[in-house]
Amino acid sequence: MNEGSGEKIGSLLSEQGGVSKEQLDIALERQAEYRKANVPLRLGEVIVDSGVGSATKVSGALHRQRDGYLRSSTIGQVLTELEYVTKAQLEEAMEAHLDILAPLGEVLVDQGICTQEQVDTAYKLQLIRRVTALRRPLSSHFDPLNVMELLVEETVDGVIEENEGCTCDQCRANVVAISLNKLAARYMSDMEALLGQLDRYREEYGDLVRERVIKAVEQVKESPKLGCRKKVKEPAGELLGRVVVHISNRHVHLTQEHVEKLFGPGYGLVKWKDLMQPGQYAARETVVLEGPKGAIERVRVLGPPRSASQVEISGTDQFKLGLKAPVRESGKLDGTPGIDMTGPHGTVSLEQGVIRARRHIHMTPNDGGSFGLKNGDSVNVRLKGDRTAVCESVLVRVTDASALEMHIDTDEANAAGVPMESLGDMLPAG
């Protein structure tokens, strides 16, 4: 890692008491002398060689520098550095990203801020930065990179999912290690050249890398290490099928009357992004939820308008708002608490309508027939994150206008360690 990246190594050492300001100034002078003599030593090397600081303290500071660099190498940071987005545009997109839990790159493309090609370039650069930061030696000024590591890293997660492998950190690391052991290293030291040549390397080595990763996944599945967090007995029961699982963040459904009270007479919701369920969409509008103890801002409105307004929150949200929301099927609002919703034109006080949505699966009658399920049935669903969990009594909702999809809230997703989109195993309710 270049010591110019992120926080300066000298500053880190000084903050941790590894060197004094005077000692740092001396080391910087010596480094300048070395450079005049065409000896490109890093500052950390100069500090150790001159006896100003210990190798242990320099190594610790380098690792802290690397960790900071990894944290800062977000897709948003990379896009900003490439001048594809401004900070203001990124902040606006981040709000939408957190509201509907869509990938940031997808949000930026949907809003017309970036092209897909620009986002793809940023993801490539982010991958290169993270792999080089993790792998390159900390003690040398030479920074070669094994191209095979990049190709394996961008291939491994998809192959694991396709082949139903374990996604825990232990098994993933084992798959990467086994794959790399079966691939001849291909090193480059020019990162800019690599960024421009990645597609050529994919074309030349992509099939070979994929073949090695598939074999590694099968090997790890047959002999998982003891550290595997998913090395547990599978729940009993026949697998009914698999379903796409999406995380549903807090949101509101409004009647047209309430839309107009919150946003103005004659107002219509503005579609921002289509959702997976046919005809459903995330609107550009947001409201503020105000409970007895607190408020939550920028809560997304989903459209189209409904016959009754409804607010869906998580268990964590209810503590912030200061109310107790029961777990209910959508639309079953009797006996639920109310809440105040504020928009740019006014406030609506709901007498009831706040729920924690019961986890559920949408499907068509054809889907239900293939799985042996009907509307109102319950199934168990195994969520395959880095902390595998089984959701019991998941409601089956069968309608003609549906797409096969399971909804869970943010608390449930965090408990299982699943990403914004994953696959779940449907099992008979036991």
Per-residue pLDDT band for 1 (boundaries 50, 70, 90) equals very low
- Report whether 252 contacts 310 (CB < 8 A): yes
Give residue for tokens 């107790």.
324
Cβ-count burial of 46 within 10 angstroms (0-12 exposed, 13-18 middle, 19+ buried)? buried
Q: What pLDDT is attached to residue 199? A: 80
Q: What pLDDT is attached to residue 23? A: 82
What does each C-alpha distance from 222 to 163, 166, 215, 334, 383 come to in angstroms?
12, 11, 11, 51, 21
Q: What is the rounded average pLDDT for all residues in the chain?
A: 84
pLDDT tens-digit readout, 387-422: 889 999 999 999 999 999 999 999 999 999 888 888
Q: Does residue 142 have a pLDDT over 60?
A: no
Q: Does residue 371 have a pLDDT over 90?
A: yes
Q: Which residues of the chain does CATH 2.40.40.20 include?
A: 359-428
- Report whether 379 contacts 359 (CB < 8 A): no
- Report whether 136 contacts 69 (CB < 8 A): no
Report the distance separating Cα 392 and Cα 327, nearest Å: 14
Percent of the chain with pLDDT over 70: 83
Give me the count of residues in the chain: 430
Note the CATH number of domain 359-428.
2.40.40.20
Averaged pLDDT for residues 291-313 = 96
Using DSSP, state whether 141 is helix, strand or coil: coil
Q: What pLDDT is attached to residue 234? A: 47
Per-residue pLDDT band for 32 (boundaries 50, 70, 90) equals confident
Report the distance separating Cα 262 and Cα 347, nearest Å: 6
The rounded Cα 201 to chain-centroid distance in angstroms is 27
Q: What is the DSSP letter of 380?
A: E
